Amino acid sequence: MSIESPPRKTSNWQRIQPLIFGVLVYVSIRIIDNPDHGGFPSTRPVSMYLGEFVMAITVGYLFELCFVLLEKRFNKDFHPSSKSLIREIIISYLVFALAVNASITPFVALTDDGLSLRDFVQINIIPILYLLLIFTIRRGRYYLRSLMQQAQRLEQIEKDSVETELALLKSQYHPHFLFNSLNTIYFQMDESVGDAKQTVEKLAELLRYQLYEEKDKKATLAKELDHINAFIDLQKVRHGSNLQVDLNLDAGIVNKKVYPLLFIPLVENAFKYVGGKKLISLKMSDAGNDGIEFCITNTTEPIASHSALIEEPGRGGLGLANLKRRLELLYPGKYALTTEQREDVFTAKLKLTLDED
């Protein structure tokens, strides 16, 4: 993996950096070589110092070329790891040692009293230490930039994954609801085409809201309640006069915003399992501290047991299981979803702590 950077103009610092490096190495060697005379004995001709100075600067730009070539080679097959870092350091050391001994060593051997063992040791320690230090800093910056870009990529991948999962979870209406609605329309057409048309409009309204309400943007509770009312109206057509629905909605919370389609799985679940006296009670209220509470109860057949719906999706609780997953993604640590079965009454409660818009 390589980290591509946009072409950049050479800065003033990049132009003078090799010059500074060459001067720094030259002064360091001179001070260590002649500590009693400040590294610059006056017995040598000035031309000798000028020659060494020019040589040091030239070598500085030579090493800058080494830096560029090494970085280009390492970046080509870059994999951030301790193993690759050690490999880069070893290769860099060998290249620097070769460059130093191919440029500085011959020059020293032709000046003053020739190349001594002390000169050789100094040449192979001081410049290479500086080179490794500079190269390590440059590679460290590259590694840091690489890790930051990888973190951004992973964050984007995770975000895209969550958005995809949310879209899938949001798009899942129970198939039985659609089949039952179509079945209701089919029989209505034999009795009243006008009523069948109205039912089709209600169904289209429900599906339109589900398909086109943006998953990552919040909707007002007023819009959510309109959607729930449309669903209830459609269910009343199917169940007829045997079904009784009691709505208790707090008008003071209708302007609060939530992510869409969080309550409809609970409403759908209530209609799916309603039995016995066929009573459904729905309540939406202010829970305080920027919270709301949605409570829905439905009568059931005495022998029915729905307490395991959330834990056992195969027994009809897929909608509720999907709801739990959406809540975990949208309101982590800010929701409470509970269910309770008592004799012939099933209760589901959803409490949300709303984020500030």
Domain ranges of the chain: 12-159, 171-353
> pLDDT higher for 283 or 162?
283
Give mean pLDDT, residues 162-189: 65
Contact 305, 317 (CB under 8 A): no
Average pLDDT of the chain is 75
Residue 128 clears pLDDT 50, i.e. is over it: yes
Which residues share a beta bridge with 352?
A: 292, 335
pLDDT confidence of residue 252: 84
Distance CA 149, CA 3 (A): 8
Chain centre distance of CA 199: 43
pLDDT digits 0-9 by tens, 189-224: 877 788 888 888 888 877 777 766 655 578 889 988
- Residue 275 near residue 304, CB atoms below 8 Å: yes
CATH topology of domain 171-353: Heat Shock Protein 90 (3.30.565)
**pLDDT exceeds 50 at position 337:** yes
**pLDDT of 174 above 70:** no
Lowest model confidence (mean pLDDT) among 60-74, 111-125, 233-247, 253-267 = 111-125
Mean pLDDT of 12-39: 65
**Which of the two residues, 41 and 341, has the higher pLDDT score?**
341
